[in-house]
Amino acid sequence: MLASRVFSLVGRRSISTSLCLRAHGHAGVVKAEDYTLPAYVDRRDVPLPEVAFVRDLSAQQQALKEKEKASWSALSVDEKVELYRLKFNETYAEMKKGTNEWKTILGGILFFLGVTGIILIWQKHFMYGPIPHTFSEEWLSAQTKRMLDMRVNPVEGISAQWDFEKNEWKK
């Protein structure tokens, strides 16, 4: 029994070794991931991207590419446009075109401002206690009178707005 177990061990090892040999023997390199290869971008500051837009050409497109190798005056306008679209995704005009995204953004901003407002109103109504007694009308008027008596900010501030002769606010 021990002998058979040893044999299965040896057998498994030999199989796995051959598998490894096959994997390493063939290519020698790992297949390159897409994100590691040069990519196409539609950017205003990249006028000629690293690769063309269309990677796998159909037979028709390949024929057109062959025709491109000859004199360009032989190409029709449609063929020229087709060649352009093979190489580039969007024209500069299409790239620079504005979207309506700002409306969504503005709407979102205003909406969340409104939500905040509702929260604040709820808080004032249901949560906060009374404000200090120093905000009552009597206290505020007494406070202002004392500020005027002390001549607070007489040049450009509150005492400059008060007419001390007539005892009233300046018009």
Partner 1 sequence: MRGLLARRMKFNLLGAFLISMGCAALYKFGVAEPRKRAYAEFYKNYDPIKDFEAMKAAGVFECAPPK
Please report, as ranges, the residues that interact with partner 1 according to CB under 8 A: 47, 146, 149-151, 154-156, 160, 164
Token representation of residue 87: 């190489």
**Closest approach of Cβ 143 to partner 1, in Å?**
13
Half-sphere exposure of 22 (CA within 13 A, CB side): 6
Nearer to partner 1, 94 or 149 (CB): 149
Nearer to partner 1, 54 or 147 (CB): 147
**Closest approach of Cβ 166 to partner 1, in Å?**
14
**Closest approach of Cβ 156 to partner 1, in Å?**
5
Using CB atoms within 10 A of its CB, is residue 89 exposed (0-12), middle (13-18) or buried (19+)? middle
Residues 169 and 162: beta-carbon distance below 8 Å: yes
Nearer to partner 1, 112 or 164 (CB): 164
User: What does the DSSP assignment read for 136-160?
Assistant: SHHHHHHHHHHHHHTT-STTTSGGG
**Closest approach of Cβ 85 to partner 1, in Å?**
22
Nearer to partner 1, 50 or 149 (CB): 149
Residues 67 and 79: beta-carbon distance below 8 Å: yes
Residue type, 94: E
